[in-house]
Copies of this chain bind each other. A is one copy, B any other.
Amino acid sequence: MDIRHADRIADALEELIFTAEFEDNARLDEVRLAERFAVSRTPVREALQRLVASGIAIQIPRRGVFVRQPGPVELLEMFEVMAELEASCGRLAALRISTADIARLETANENCLSAIDAGDSDAYYRENEAFHHLIYKASGNGFLEQEALRLHRRLKPYRRLQLRLHGRMSQSMQEHQRILSALRDGKSDRAATALRDHVAVQGEKFHRLLANLKPAAE
């Protein structure tokens, strides 16, 4: 084992929480986790601190740390912020993007199309992600890129749920085209709006999904 146990455990715990292995508000027992990972409490505690710092768990002093799955409201809020962040990336990218990066975006887009034709939704997911990550980078703002990546990653488990809804993919590709054309033309406002709407659709889908789950609840 050439890697720090604390890091390994933090990654493992994050994965376990994202895959809903631990339910919301579950206490993350230090000694149980220590036994489970066959280490002492020390690296477990460091891993827990990392989870708390990243917001997927909360710590109540002298009580322990507890899983904190975002509720429906917070998820919608996070999707909304994602849309705003991507809009910002688009706004800046329209002013700064290089021809090389435009070419890369076009390639990713074509790969998306190929994946749709092949019916390979995993490949579509991957190439779609590449498309968006390229836009983050093309913003020319490394800090913004990192923040966008961070939230994107955090929302990943929830995005997977809604990908395979009926005619979404082809509509999504049209939106990609609009984004691309705005970037090519250097129209920052158009690029921002196109990206915001494109991402916001995911929030809408999610909203509808929730509404269907709990028809008249609360």
Instruction: List residues of chain A with CB under 8 Å of any chain B CB.
Output: 3-4, 7, 42, 45-46, 49-50, 53-54, 61, 74, 77-78, 80-81, 84-85, 87-88, 91-92, 141-144, 147
Contact = CB atoms under 8 A, between A and B. Distances in A.
Contact of A77 (B4, B87, B141): B141
Contact of A74 (B45, B74, B81, B142): B142
Contacts of A80: 92, 141, 143-144
Contact of A45 (B46, B87, B141): B46
Q: How many copies does the complex hold?
A: 2
Given A77-B143, A80-B92, 14 more contacts: A4-B61, A46-B46, A46-B49, A49-B50, A49-B53, A74-B142, A74-B143, A77-B141, A80-B144, A81-B143, A81-B147, A84-B85, A84-B88, A88-B88
User: Chain A: interface secondary structure?
Assistant: helix
Contacts of A81: 88, 141, 143-144, 147
A88 B147 CA distance: 15
A49 B7 CA distance: 11
Nearest to A79: B143
A3 B62 CA distance: 10
Contacts of A144: 77, 80-81, 84
